[in-house]
Amino acid sequence: DAGITQSPRHKVTETGTPVTLRCHQTENHRYMYWYRQDPGHGLRLIHYSYGVKDTDKGEVSDGYSVSRSKTEDFLLTLESATSSQTSVYFCAIRRTESSYNEQFFGPGTRLTVL
């Protein structure tokens, strides 16, 4: 499982509330990613990080922000949750020792916004 954990694993929240999801890795990989998975859309990149305090946007970044203050933690924040952000969120790491973009996923967080 590449030493990746996500918390919480399940969350139900209300529209308009802020939500933070955490991804934690134990293997010191430089690159970390946040994806959302929705039926019919596959996995879509929200944000990614290429080092501490270095982040960039993916294809579906609106309404989301991220922070990476330590190598091992990558946080995803929904500033003001909306029902359209109900989804399964996966964190991933890219293996540092590979020159190709081999990514391994965390167990996922199922978020429901009512």
Partner 1 sequence: GENVEQHPSTLSVQEGDSAVIKCTYSDSASNYFPWYKQELGKRPQLIIDIRSNVGEKKDQRIAVTLNKTAKHFSLHITETQPEDSAVYFCAATGANNLFFGTGTRLTVIP
CB closer to partner 1, 80 vs 112: 112
* CB 3, min distance to partner 1, A: 13
* CB 16, min distance to partner 1, A: 29
Parallel, antiparallel or unpaired: strands 10-13 and 64-70: unpaired
Phi-psi group of 69: left, alpha or beta (phi > 0 → left; psi -120 to 50 → alpha; rest → beta):
alpha
Cβ neighbours of residue 12 closer than 8 Å, sequence gap 6 or more: 111, 112, 114
CB closer to partner 1, 16 vs 52: 52
Contact residues for partner 1, defined by CB under 8 A: 1, 31, 33, 40-45, 48, 50, 58-59, 90, 100-108
